[in-house]
Amino acid sequence: MELEKRNAIVTGGSIGIGAAIAVEFAKQGANVAINYRKHDAEAKEVVKKMESFGRKGLAIKADVANFNDAQAMVHNTVQEFGRLDILVNNAGITRDSVVWKMTEQMWDEVIMTNLKGYFNYIHAAADHFKNQRYGKIVNITSINGLRGKFGQSNYSASKGGIIAMTKAVARELGKFNVNVNAVAPGMTETEMAADLPREWLDRALAETVLGRLASTDDIAHVVVFLASDKSRHITGEVINVSGGQYM
C-alpha cells in the first residue's frame, strides 16, 4: 500500500473529490481526518468507509476560512494520530457571475474559502512538517486557474493564487524534505457539477480530447501518487488532470 502508516488531513472531505481522496487514502493505508462545514451525514459515511479498510477516520466540523479552526483541526489530528504526514487542501466554493454583476460578498467568500483556507491549513501544518523533516502537501486547484473562465473571475483568481502559492511554499519548505504540488482537475463528475446547467457540462465534455469527464477517482489516484514517496523528487508542479480539456 502506497500510504501505509501515514496520517493525513483532507479538507472538504465529506463529498466530491475530497471524499474520494479520503477513501482512497484509507485504501492505501493512511489514517485520515476530514473537515466539513454542513454535510454531517455525508462526513459520517466517509468515516465509515475509511474505517472499513481498518484505518482510523476522523470528521471535524470546521470552517476552512477560519484561521483558528484550522489550527485546532491540525492540533487535534496530531493528538489523535500521533503525527501528521500529508495535507490535502481541497475545500472550495463557487459564486459565479460576470465581473460587473459580481458583488463584494461573492468575491470575498470565494477568496476566503478557496485561497485563504489553503493558507490557513498550510500555516498550521508547516511547523509539524519542518520539525519532523517530512511532509506532503497537495493543493487542489483547477484548469480555470491556468486559463481563466468566463463568469468565474473570483474562482479563477483563487485557483490561480493557489498555483502561485504552491510554487512559493515548495521553495520555502523544500529544504525540510516537504513536497508541495498542485492538481488541476477539469470538469469532474461531482455534486457541484450536477447542479450546473446541462449545456455547461456538454461544452466541457466537447473540450476534452478523451471524450469523457473525470470521475472523482481519476483525481484521487493522482493525489495518492503525489502524497506517496514515489513522487519524492517532484515539487512545485501543477498536474493537469482534465482529459485534455485544457492543454
- Indicate the domain borders of the chain: 7-241
As averages over each run of 10 residues, the pLDDT of the chain (247 residues) reads 96 97 98 94 97 98 97 98 98 96 98 98 98 98 96 97 98 98 94 76 92 96 98 98 96
Contacts of 97 (CB under 8 A, 6+ apart): 103, 106, 151
* Whether the Cβ atoms of residue 37 and residue 59 lie closer than 8 Å to each other: no
Spatial separation of the C-alpha atoms in residues 180 and 135, rounded to whole Å: 8
Give me the pLDDT at residue 44, please. 97
User: Is CATH 3.40.1360.10 the classification given to domain 7-241?
Assistant: no
* Set of cell numbers at residue 67: 484561521
Give me the pLDDT at residue 107, please. 98
Give strand pairing partners of 138.
88, 181
Spell out the alpha helix ranges (H) of 82-116.
104-111
Spatial separation of the C-alpha atoms in residues 62 and 135, rounded to whole Å: 22
Give me the pLDDT at residue 46, please. 98
Contacts of 141 (CB under 8 A, 6+ apart): 159, 160, 162, 163, 166, 182, 183, 184, 238
| Active-site amino acid positions | 155
